[in-house]
């Protein structure tokens, strides 16, 4: 669990996101979101088969949420590189991660804001996806825990 998150964060900081193109930005976001959906589906399956579904659900959330946040953080870094007006300042990897986390946490300190229409659309997309993650993904994973813990009727009538 901690190793997966550490690997994701390390990869994020090593990727040359500041040397990307618009096509790369769109590809990263779309492929990343599809990867996120696949990751959650795999994790739900894993929870339902685990002898310790509660623990496995915690592991699932602590892997999928950082993946999601790093995906948007990377998108913000690329957008800032491609258009100086996207966020008002160039974004480092740290700035991108900071912004993605403040949007997710609905803190919004105001020190870093989306300035361009494209950046605002992506941030709005993250906000909507944040609600989906907090509602649907958590419900799916906790539902998988409940299904796994439910008594099974293994007898043949």
As a dihedral over the C-alpha atoms of residue 88, residue 17, residue 82, residue 22, rounded to 10 degrees, the angle is -140
Let me know if 39 is exposed, middle or buried by CB neighbors in 10 A (0-12, 13-18, 19+).
Answer: middle
Count how many domains the chain has: 1
Could you tell me if residue 154 is inside a domain?
no
pLDDT in tens, 55-73: 888 888 888 899 999 999 9
Range of the domain at 72: 2-148
Could you tell me if residue 157 is inside a domain?
no
Pick from 42, 23, 19: which is nearest to 31 by CA? 23
Q: Chain-centre distance of CA 3, in angstroms?
A: 17
Claim: this prediction has a pTM higher than 0.75: yes
Could you tell me if residue 133 is inside a domain?
yes
Poorest-pLDDT segment among 79-83, 142-146, 151-155 = 151-155
CB atoms within 10 A of CB 64: 20
Say which CATH number the domain at 36 has: 1.10.287
- How many whole angstroms separate alpha carbon 129 and alpha carbon 118? 16
Pick from 41, 56, 38: which is nearest to 148 by CA? 56
Could you tell me if residue 153 is inside a domain?
no
């Amino acid at each position: 669990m901690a190793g997966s998150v550490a690997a994701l964060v390390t990869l994020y900081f090593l990727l040359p996101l500041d040397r990307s193109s618009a096509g790369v930005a769109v590809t990263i976001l779309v492929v990343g979101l599809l990867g996120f959906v696949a990751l959650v589906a795999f994790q739900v399956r894993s929870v339902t088969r685990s002898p310790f579904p509660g623990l496995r659900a915690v592991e699932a959330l602590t892997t999928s949420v950082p993946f999601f946040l790093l995906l948007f953080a990377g998108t913000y870094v690329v957008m800032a590189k491609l258009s100086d007006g996207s966020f008002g300042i160039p974004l480092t990897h740290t700035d991108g991660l900071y912004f993605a986390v403040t949007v997710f946490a609905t803190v919004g300190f105001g020190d870093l804001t989306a300035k361009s229409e494209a950046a605002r659309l992506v941030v709005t997309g993250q906000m909507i996806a944040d609600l989906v993650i907090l509602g649907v993904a958590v419900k799916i994973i906790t539902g998988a825990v409940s299904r796994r813990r439910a008594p099974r009727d293994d007898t043949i009538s």
